[in-house]
Chain A
C-alpha cells in the first residue's frame, strides 16, 4: 500500500492500520476484529466520575421531587443490615470503608511482595 499524505504526516502505525482495516471493511464487507483501542484519554476517568456524581445528584433530585418517599437506605435493601444501616449515609460509608480496605490491602501487598 502506498502511504498517502496523512500516513506520512503522522508517521504512525495507527493511521496505516486504520486504513488497512477500513480497506478490508469496504473490500470484504467484514467488521474489524476489535473495536476497543489502546488509548486511554486523560479526561476519560474524569468523565466517568462526573457521570457518577451526576447520577448521585439525580438521586438527590428524586428526593426533592418526591419528598414523601425517601431513597431506601442500605438497611432497607439488605435485611442482614436492617438493624445497623438505617440511614442513607451508609451507602456512602461503604465506599469509604472499601477504600480504607484497599489502602490496607495495598500496604500489605506491597510489604509482603518486597
Chain B
C-alpha cells in the first residue's frame, strides 16, 4: 500500500508568514484581524478583516519570475494578490525542503483558488474610466487602452495563473489542477494530490490553496450575503465559532502549500516527515446553493467517506479541525453532522476546534491553512484552541476545545473539514508519523 506523507509546509497567513511562526501562533492562541488597510472600507458595514501583514505581492512575484530564468514571462507587477500569495507560499514550501524534493520534472501542483482579487487602484485606474453614466462598462474602449499594455494584462486574474508560474519557477512539469470549489477548494486540491500519489501516478506534489477577497467587490459580496461579522469595534474577537453570540465570519486572506510525497521516496532522500495523509472524502449537499443542508447531510457524508477511505473507525479520530466559520448556520449544522456520525455509533465525538477563530476565514485557502494546523497538532502534540468563546452555543453539541492556548494532547489522527458554497464538502484525515 502506497503511503503519502507531508514533508514541508509553507504558510503566508494572517497570524504568521512562516511555518514555524504559524505553529507558534497556533500554540499560543494568537489571532489575526484588524481594520481593513488594503482599501478604504470606512463606509462599509463591515470594516475589519484578517489581512496578511507586511506582504509585498510585487516582491513575491518578482522572486518567482527571477527563478523562471530567461523564460520570457511578462507578468505585470500589479498581479492578482491571491496569485502572489499562492506563489509565495509554494516557493516557501519548496525552499524549506531540500532541492532533491522537486528536482525532476514530474512534480505536480494542485491549488484551490477563488474569484479575482481586484485592488482598489485597479478599479480606479482600469475599470472606472470605462464606465458610462449608467455604470455600463465599455469593453471595447478598455480593450483599446489595454492593447498598449503587456499582453498578459487581461490574464492577470486567471484561476490557474499561480500554478503555471510555480511550475515555471521550479522547472517542473507534472500534472497540475486549479480547483474551484468555493471554500472546499484547497481541501479538494490536497485530496487530488493525495490520490495521484497513492495511485502511483506521481511521486511528489505541492498542494494547497490561496485566496484574498479583501477588496471592495469581495467584501461587498459577502456582506450582501449577510455572512460577515460586523464587530468593527473589536476585530480581534470578531471570529467566534461555536460561541452563542457569533454573528458571521471574519474575512481572512492568505495561502498555505504542503509538499506531499510518496513515503519511501521521502525516506530515500532523508526527508523529515511531518505527518501522513490517510484519508480523503468528498460529497455534495444537493440541497441548496445558498445554505447548508439543515442536518448537515453532506458534511456527514464527506466525513464518513474519508473514514472509509482511510479504513478507520470513527473512534480513531482524536481531533477535528472544523470548518467552523462562525456563521450561525454553519457551526450548528456542522456540529449536528459530527454529533450524529459519532453518537450514531455510540461514541462520544472527538475534540473539535475552529482555527478560523484565529486566522479568520481564508475562503478558498481555508482547507490548506487548516491542513497545516492539523499537521502542527499531530507533530507538536497539542489541540489547537477555539478561542473567543464566551458562552458555548447549546446548539453546538460537540466537545469544543474551549481554550485560549493550545492544549497539550496525544493526537494520533486529525480530521479537517471544509465545506463550500454550492454544497461541495471535503474531509481529509491526517495521521501522526509513526514510521
A interacts with B = no
